[in-house]
Amino acid sequence: MPFNRRQFLLLGGALGGLGLSVAAQKWAASQGSSLPADRPLDLNEYSQSSPESSPESNLESSPTASSPTASTDPLNPPRGDVRIVVISDLNSQYGSTDYEIEVDNAIARIPTWQPDLVLCGGDMVAGQQPSLTRSEIEAMWAAFDQHVSAPLRKANIPYGFTLGNHDASSAQAINGGLLFGTERELASAYWNDPLHDPGLQFVDRAKFPFYYTFQKKDVFFLSWDASSAQISAEQLAWVEQSLSSPAAKAAKLRIVVGHLPLYGIAIGRDDAGEYLENAEGLRSLLERHQVHTYVSGHDHAYYPGHKGDLELLHCGILGAGVRPLLNGDLSPRKTLTIVDVDLAAARTLYTTLDATTLELVNQQELPKLIASPGGKVLRRDVVWEDLTPAEQAIEYAPRG
């Protein structure tokens, strides 16, 4: 895959009442640095720890004519050919029509980054509760529209998404029917209402909003229904067909988004049913079609990883219920990620922002690997040979 694992990706963060430039000045001052206005910003200067230097990593982080456009603000990163703001898990307690302050702050801030697309990893509302009435479910979607969807439509920002288990779970009852059929019916009604048009350039919307494809510039997106641990044979046949389509093959980058991850990487999300079944088979399918990244939610923990040739962006959350990673001792935090795509090189730059504290999220502080029940997921800048024998020997162990 045309991606250099050793590239250094700045992961930074600020949201809240302060403007980006003010936050940048406060952070730079705390690091003993200044923000000179007469030269492009070298993002590596603002890392909290220096990565292993290599000619390739230095080249990738230097602003050039072929790299993302340079920025003079460390909290407003170099812009790629395509910019995507990735968010996930926006909801609060069951049935809630309120949203956390981080959700409202993020949605208000997103237009300042001028993204080509917002991509959501699911759980936009707080369903998956049998006692919820139709009117309560409709009220949740109305609240979502007020807090998230309508502001993005007003800003003319397209919104791609996958449905989560709290939006429209595909879980099956013992008799073979859907456990949450009413929630799926009302989710479909909301998204197929012309008033709620997400502004996407669809390739195939026959099964929208459950699974569908769209494109933005030269990036092809496939959203599959990973709202439960099983992806049906019917849907997998559609995935094969879609990733073999002329639109997918012509794209310079392919991204798949689904709510459940392939590999559980957070405490409390490592039990069967919390991640997709047959992860290795699904990964093989995506790799065979040269999918660059699988974006997922559900784990309530941010981890930029890879397994084999497939990038794995485990989104952090903006809503309630942050969770710690299976490995390491970092405190959990709410995050969003700005993804800038370099189409010529078919690679991505992540800038991940803390949604609460205005602190920078430093990729180098994240564990080099997560030992999940389904296999070991490496941090996206790490290759197996980078690990010490002790690190390579780490095995999955449940943490309660």
pLDDT the model gives residue 35: 27
Q: Collapse the DSSP code of 205 into the 3-class scheme (helix H, G, I; strand E, B; otherwise coil) and give the result.
A: strand
Q: Collapse the DSSP code of 174 into the 3-class scheme (helix H, G, I; strand E, B; otherwise coil) and give the result.
A: coil
pLDDT the model gives residue 55: 27
The span from the CA of 38 to the CA of 356, in Å, is 31
pLDDT the model gives residue 274: 97
pLDDT the model gives residue 40: 28
C-beta of residue 57 within 8 angstroms of C-beta of residue 51: yes
Q: Which domains does the chain have, with CATH numbers?
A: 81-392 (3.60.21.10)
The DSSP H or E segment spanning 312 is: strand 310-314
- Edge to edge, the sheet with strand 219-223 lists 201-207, 211-216, 219-223, 253-258, 293-296, 310-314, 303-307, 375-379, 369-372
pLDDT the model gives residue 11: 35
C-beta of residue 274 within 8 angstroms of C-beta of residue 333: no
Q: Is the pTM of this model over 0.95?
A: no
Burial 287-316 (b: 16+ CB within 10 A, else e): eebbbbbbbbbbbbbbbbbbbeebbbbbbb
Q: Collapse the DSSP code of 125 into the 3-class scheme (helix H, G, I; strand E, B; otherwise coil) and give the result.
A: coil
C-beta of residue 286 within 8 angstroms of C-beta of residue 306: no
C-alpha closest to that of 296 among 287, 288, 305: 305
The DSSP H or E segment spanning 120 is: strand 117-120
What are the per-10-residue average pLDDT scores of the chain (400 residues)?
39 34 35 29 28 30 36 74 98 96 96 96 96 97 98 98 97 90 97 98 98 98 98 97 98 98 97 97 98 98 98 97 96 96 96 86 95 97 97 92
The span from the CA of 28 to the CA of 190, in Å, is 44
Please state, in angstroms and as integers, the Cα–Cα distance from residue 161 to each residue in 31, 61, 296, following that order: 37, 30, 10
The span from the CA of 183 to the CA of 16, in Å, is 33
pLDDT the model gives residue 388: 97
Phi, psi at 176, each rounded to 5°:
95, -10
Q: 217's torsion region: left (phi>0), alpha (psi -120 to 50) or beta?
A: left
pLDDT the model gives residue 33: 31
pLDDT the model gives residue 175: 83
Tokens standing for 205? 């919307």
